[in-house]
Amino acid sequence: MRCDLTPAWKNLQHHAQSFAGFDLRTAFAADVQRADTLSLQAPHVFADLSKNHVDAATEALLQELARQTGLASHRDAMFRGEAINHTEGRAVMHWLLRQPEGSLGGDLAEPLALVHGTLKPMLAYAETIRADAQITDVVNIGIGGSDLGPQMAVLALQDFVIPGKRFHFVSNVDGHELASVLKGLKAENTLFLIASKTFTTIETMTNARSALQWFQAQGGTDVARHFAALTTNVAAAAEFGITTTFGFWDWVGGRYSMWSAIGLPVAIAIGAQGFNDLLAGAHAMDQYFQIAPLEANLPVRLGLLDVWYRNFLNYTSRSIAPYHSALRRVPAYLQQLEMESNGKRVDRNGQALPYGTSPVLWGEPGTNGQHAYFQMLHQGTDVVPLEFIAVKKPTHSLKDHHELLLANVIAQAQALMLGKADQGGHKHFTGNRPSTFLLLDELTPASLGALIALQEHRVFVSGSVWGINSFDQWGVELGKVLAKDIHARIVSGDVAGLDGSTAALLARIR
């Protein structure tokens, strides 16, 4: 049943009205167990949800909503490999990429064998490149899911990255990006990875062509050694002239693909063992998501919290604050994950929805954000739930830094909640501002894998309750088509049939 037609939805609407006077400070004063009751330990990730605008009744009603919208059976359908991405007629099996070899039977045995049949040569190749001292620079050319995941992970795991190799990520069709990377490279020392699920994306194809021309202009001849393609479209890669290819399958969505061949830069950076640990961390979260009771299941609780905030308390955005500089690309990664998955305005039958879906996701690492936009979070007119991500153990030995970093993240969560009274107004903090606190013991391949899989599944949960298809992305198509038309017009100067603004801009640009 569509979520807004369930009894739980109506009950949540009533509950939200009676909840208007909810105050976190009062809630903590009334219940000394609150932090305990609203904390959860998932694989590698501890979560304190207690500073959120929820009470026991909210949690119970959200659980009812999950039951009445069939969340568990939808989840199980994904893990059975059913074609739940119905607008593209595809299964959704990124989780299979982290499933141990030979661990599934039935219809899933064959795709799982394919996964490991590809993973092994890919990891062997990664090890060859790691051992190849002549290759000092690895350039990943890809965009969206073929860029954000590997880029985020290589940065996050910088302490595990092999010394002596540099990793570059080129995504934008803006030639300034590729040109500035190429400036510092030598053909004989460079490996280009052309990462594109479809091998048709205009940005990636344009950058790949320019990289190949640059390579040949530098005297490079051995394309098989210096170019590899990571794609589901092996034929297109071959036509392009790339024969070293690592494949994956249409049942891996672009934004869910860092566990596939798209993860090759990560595997080169951290090695086969590291990549296997990343997969194992994510797999632990997959199992937990399937097995843990819904009321004690972190991805379920986070996804339902997202629905509560978006649809009942009208909080339209979520800010991500990783308090670890190596996690600085996590907000951008999560932005695609959430907003491309759940930024949908129709239900699974194509009917317009009368309720909101994806929140706006944004953020920067702490403590930087504190000296920039946190002002608005503390004293602005809108309530923005914040998601802190902190790591207990540092990997450096610089004195004082990590204690100060952790003191700041805890203090921010506290300040948002407690506020501060002041007569004059300007110095008044209302407090009662909600936040979630995610804590990893250490930042390792395994804990990163678990953290990202957690986020994938929480996006699944809210998308499932909203009754949308979280696994297509038709909304990106129109701009691609129009850009082709405008590109031709920039060349020809033809403005016939264009609206006044577009025609004027085009004339100005030419």
Q: How far is the CB of 476 from ligand F6P (least distance, A)?
A: 4
Catalytic site residue from 59, 203, 338, 340: 340
Amino acid letter, 283 = H
Number of residues that bind ligand F6P (CB under 6 A): 14
In the shown chain, the binding pattern of residues 285 to 324 toward ligand F6P, with x for contact by CB under 6 A and - for none, equals: ----------------------------------------
- 114: its two tokens: 């394919």
Contact positions with ligand F6P (CB under 6 A) in 195-214: 196-198, 201, 204
Task: Pick from 146, 207, 245, 435 the residue near ligand F6P by CB under 6 A.
Answer: 146
d(CA 178, CA 211): 8
Task: Pick from 3, 71, 138, 143 the residue near ligand F6P by CB under 6 A.
Answer: 143
Residue 201 or 436 with smaller CB distance to ligand F6P: 201
**Can you give the three-state secondary structure of 404-438, one letter per residue?**
HHHHHHHHHHHHHHHCECCCCCCCCECCCCCEEEE
Residue 64 or 88 with smaller CB distance to ligand F6P: 88
Q: How far is the CB of 151 from ligand F6P (least distance, A)?
A: 12
Q: How far is the CB of 483 from ligand F6P (least distance, A)?
A: 11
Beta strands per DSSP E along 101-247: 137-141, 166-170, 190-195, 227-231, 245-247
Closest to 256 (Cα-Cα) out of 110, 106, 90: 90
Which secondary structure element, helix H or strand E, spans residue 127, and what is its range?
A: helix 109-131
Contact positions with ligand F6P (CB under 6 A) in 168-197: 196-197
Answer yes or no: are the C-beta atoms of 412 and 377 closer than 8 Å. no
Q: How far is the CB of 254 from ligand F6P (least distance, A)?
A: 3
d(CA 463, CA 492): 44
| Residue whose token pair is 């996690």 | 327
Which secondary structure element, helix H or strand E, spans residue 375, and what is its range?
A: helix 374-379
Rg (CA), the chain: 24
| Residue whose token pair is 């951290």 | 270
Count Cβ atoms within 10 A of the Cβ of residue 373 and give its class: 0-12 exposed, 13-18 middle, 19 or more buried.
middle
Of the candidate spans 143-151, 152-160, 240-248, 314-322, the one that interacts with ligand F6P by CB under 6 A turns out to be: 143-151
d(CA 461, CA 63): 12
| Residue whose token pair is 């991805």 | 299
Q: How far is the CB of 206 from ligand F6P (least distance, A)?
A: 12
- 348: its two tokens: 């699974």
Residue 254 or 463 with smaller CB distance to ligand F6P: 254
| Residue whose token pair is 């039977």 | 105
Q: How far is the CB of 127 from ligand F6P (least distance, A)?
A: 25
Collect all residues with Cβ–Cβ distance below 8 Å to 406 and sequence separation of at least 6. 323, 390, 392
Contact positions with ligand F6P (CB under 6 A) in 327-346: 340
Residue 137 or 472 with smaller CB distance to ligand F6P: 472
Residue 258 or 270 with smaller CB distance to ligand F6P: 258
Establish if 255 lies at the interface with ligand F6P (CB under 6 A).
Answer: yes
Residue 411 or 476 with smaller CB distance to ligand F6P: 476
Contact positions with ligand F6P (CB under 6 A) in 468-497: 473, 476
Residue 69 or 171 with smaller CB distance to ligand F6P: 171
Residue 253 or 449 with smaller CB distance to ligand F6P: 253
* Residue 340 annotated in active site: yes
Of the candidate spans 138-146, 282-290, 375-383, 420-428, the one that interacts with ligand F6P by CB under 6 A turns out to be: 138-146
* Residue 480 annotated in active site: yes
Of the candidate spans 15-23, 144-152, 184-192, 216-224, the one that interacts with ligand F6P by CB under 6 A turns out to be: 144-152
Catalytic site residue from 176, 371, 399, 426: 371
Count Cβ atoms within 10 A of the Cβ of residue 224 and give its class: 0-12 exposed, 13-18 middle, 19 or more buried.
exposed
Q: How far is the CB of 267 from ligand F6P (least distance, A)?
A: 18
If one counts every other C-beta atom within 10 angstroms of the C-beta of residue 482, the result is: 11
d(CA 484, CA 462): 34
Q: How far is the CB of 265 from ligand F6P (least distance, A)?
A: 14
| Residue whose token pair is 């950076």 | 269
Residues engaged in binding ligand F6P (CB under 6 A): 143-146, 196-198, 201, 204, 254-255, 340, 473, 476
- Enumerate the active-site residues: 340, 371, 480
